[in-house]
């Protein structure tokens, strides 16, 4: 039970990252797990699978599997998560997420309101969350989800990622410049990068920074992901272009409406209102286009539902002959076909499970650990510094960049031009939720499908997005799945709502949780099964069998 009797802290008081009583709960869980393991029936076959027998044996075996799976949770998330220290460093909370709370005219959060947010996060009291003052009609995005427990895979607060880059760091400066350039280049077709003077200017500017986003920048890798397959072929993954078989009765053509309203939040009053939770509105769209530039990609990840891209990819892959992973037992069975296990029902289920599981990890890190400000807030800090309203300790690389100068020349402010009228969501930035989903769902897809197989009949969008043309190169399933994960993560950067590191660490966080999910489910199959094999985003190949992941 959570103790709600404590009084709120004084304004500006810093709080611990974890809930009171978490250590007591951990000790109790450990004792209960040990006791359950001792008392569980051993009604499990030699291969670790439940035996078929009388109902009592089946129940005991099922219980034993759950105990074995739960024991792995005790070894995850045992180290204290680390922060970048910004929240304790700045009395004005310049680097902390505070959107929708009351703000002064500099866009700085009211410290009393922020103290109440911290109190609610520390106590996990539902009533305390309802007592947080807001500055407008926008509501905070589901902060209590940060406390949810998971019963499969790695629990939401079990995955560990590096601390968010600090506000004054060279890395944040470079990331913010990249997001400025994303906004400036939104309407340049991906197919035109080789001839675009604007994209060439972005390459030159980003290479001048102390920190290099994604390493040294070139026309061939600018704004792309950093995983195996990301640099092969077109910018957009085949799984965002190819038709989607939707059951046996229809096919979904992947053409989508393109925003028509231009950029938002380039005026100071509009920016300030949105920080206070006011303003915003719908983003108008028209036409039907294949994704062909940053604006269409940004809108795709504005209007999608969780796991949409990865369910679509699963449906496409299920229609590709012999695309299943080489380790699938149904490749060798002559008289049986897959369905509930190793087939469509299994794959679609685990992709969906992985997506929501990954969101619990994202929300834990967002609300209870990092609380990093969004890029739109950094844009406000740049504007106030450059115009003399207040000086913030931003890195000089950013303040003196060509990116910042071009944004000012275009709009008369240094505010980040946003693709969405409402700007970012009302939850902290680090890590990116879309990226966590992408990392988890892609990991499941790589476990079930043959990464080395070629995508049949690859395509590329024409420069105007009106149609698809054949693409002459060879593209692998694994490479295009990695590219899909990064398209979804970086699509949020194109919209202005995330920085690159939030996508990278989000993908890593989701991968960790999905590997835990696959470890749990690898215990459940009756088929003769050597294990799931997949290539991690860092290039390491692993096998997951009987609850254990090993390098191969």
Q: Which of 103, 395, 434, 498 is catalytic?
A: 434
Q: Which of 103, 395, 427, 498 is catalytic?
A: 427
Residue 464, SS3 per DSSP: coil
- Check if 103 is active-site: no
Structure tokens at 59: 């129940």
Peptide bond into 39 cis (omega under 30): no
Cβ 309 vs Cβ 480: under 8 Å: no
- Report how far residue 323's alpha carbon sits from residue 455's, in angstroms, rounded to the nearest whole number: 9
- Helix intervals (H) in 372-468: 375-387, 396-399, 402-411, 433-448
Longest dimension (CA), the chain: 78
Cβ 19 vs Cβ 120: under 8 Å: no
CA neighbor of 81 nearest in space, from 151, 9, 19: 19
- Report how far residue 443's alpha carbon sits from residue 313's, in angstroms, rounded to the nearest whole number: 12
Structure tokens at 211: 């920190």
End-to-end CA gap in the chain: 44
- Check if 302 is active-site: no
C-alpha radius of gyration, the chain, whole number: 24
- Report how far residue 165's alpha carbon sits from residue 379's, in angstroms, rounded to the nearest whole number: 16
Burial of 28 (0-12, 13-18, 19+ CB in 10 A): exposed
- DSSP label at residue 355: H
- Report how far residue 425's alpha carbon sits from residue 413's, in angstroms, rounded to the nearest whole number: 22
> How many Cα atoms within 13 Å fall on the side-chain side of residue 196?
23
- DSSP label at residue 252: E
Catalytic residues: 427, 434
């Amino acid at each position: 039970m959570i103790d709600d009797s404590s009084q709120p802290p004084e304004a500006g008081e810093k709080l611990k990252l974890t809930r009171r009583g978490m250590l007591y709960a951990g000790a109790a869980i450990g004792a209960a797990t040990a006791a359950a393991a001792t008392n569980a029936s051993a009604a499990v076959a030699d291969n670790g699978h439940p035996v078929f027998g009388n109902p009592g044996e089946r129940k005991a075996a099922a219980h034993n599997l759950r105990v074995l799976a739960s024991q792995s949770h005790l070894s995850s998330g045992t180290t204290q998560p680390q922060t970048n220290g910004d929240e304790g460093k700045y009395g004005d909370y310049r680097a902390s997420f505070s959107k929708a709370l009351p703000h002064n005219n500099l866009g700085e959060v009211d410290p009393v309101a922020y103290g109440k947010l911290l109190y609610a996060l520390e106590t996990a009291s539902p009533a305390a969350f309802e007592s947080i003052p807001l500055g407008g009609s926008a509501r905070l995005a589901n902060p209590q989800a940060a406390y949810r427990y998971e019963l499969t895979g790695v629990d939401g607060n079990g995955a560990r990622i590096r601390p968010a880059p600090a506000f004054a760091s060279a890395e944040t400066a470079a990331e913010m410049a990249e997001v400025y350039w994303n906004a400036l280049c939104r309407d340049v077709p991906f197919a035109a990068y080789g001839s675009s003077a604007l994209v060439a200017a972005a390459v030159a500017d980003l290479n001048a920074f102390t920190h290099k986003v994604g390493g040294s920048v070139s026309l061939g890798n600018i704004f792309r992901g950093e995983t195996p397959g990301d640099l092969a072929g077109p910018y957009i993954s085949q799984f965002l272009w190819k038709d989607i078989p939707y059951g046996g009765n229809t096919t979904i053509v992947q053409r989508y409406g393109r925003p028509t309203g231009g950029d938002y939040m380039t005026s100071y009053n509009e920016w300030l209102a949105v920080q206070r939770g006011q303003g915003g509105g719908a983003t108008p769209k028209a036409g039907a286009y294949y994704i062909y530039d940053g604006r269409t990609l940004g809108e795709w990840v504005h209007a999608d539902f969780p796991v949409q891209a990865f369910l679509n990819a699963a449906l496409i892959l299920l229609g590709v002959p012999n695309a299943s992973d080489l380790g699938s037992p149904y490749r060798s069975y002559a008289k049986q076909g897959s369905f509930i296990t190793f087939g469509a029902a299994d794959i679609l289920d685990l992709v969906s499970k992985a997506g929501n599981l990954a969101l619990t990890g994202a929300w834990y890190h967002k609300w209870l650990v990092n609380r990093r400000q969004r890029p739109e807030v950094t844009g406000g800090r740049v504007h106030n510094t450059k115009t003399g309203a207040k000086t913030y300790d931003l890195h000089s690389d950013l303040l003196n960049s060509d990116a910042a100068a071009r944004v000012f020349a275009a709009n008369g402010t240094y505010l980040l031009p946003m693709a969405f009228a409402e700007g970012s969501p009302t939850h902290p930035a680090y890590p990116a939720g879309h990226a966590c989903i992408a990392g988890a769902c892609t990991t499941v897809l790589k476990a079930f499908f043959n990464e080395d197989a070629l995508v049949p009949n690859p395509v590329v969008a024409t420069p105007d997005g009106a149609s698809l043309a054949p693409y002459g190169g060879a593209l692998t399933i694994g490479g295009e799945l990695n590219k899909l994960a990064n398209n979804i993560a970086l699509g949020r950067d194109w919209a202005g709502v995330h920085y690159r590191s939030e996508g990278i660490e989000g993908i890593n966080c989701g991968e960790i949780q999905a590997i835990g999910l696959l470890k749990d489910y690898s215990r459940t199959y009756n088929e003769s099964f050597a294990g799931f094999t997949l290539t991690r985003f860092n290039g390491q190949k692993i096998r997951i069998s009987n609850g254990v992941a090993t390098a191969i």
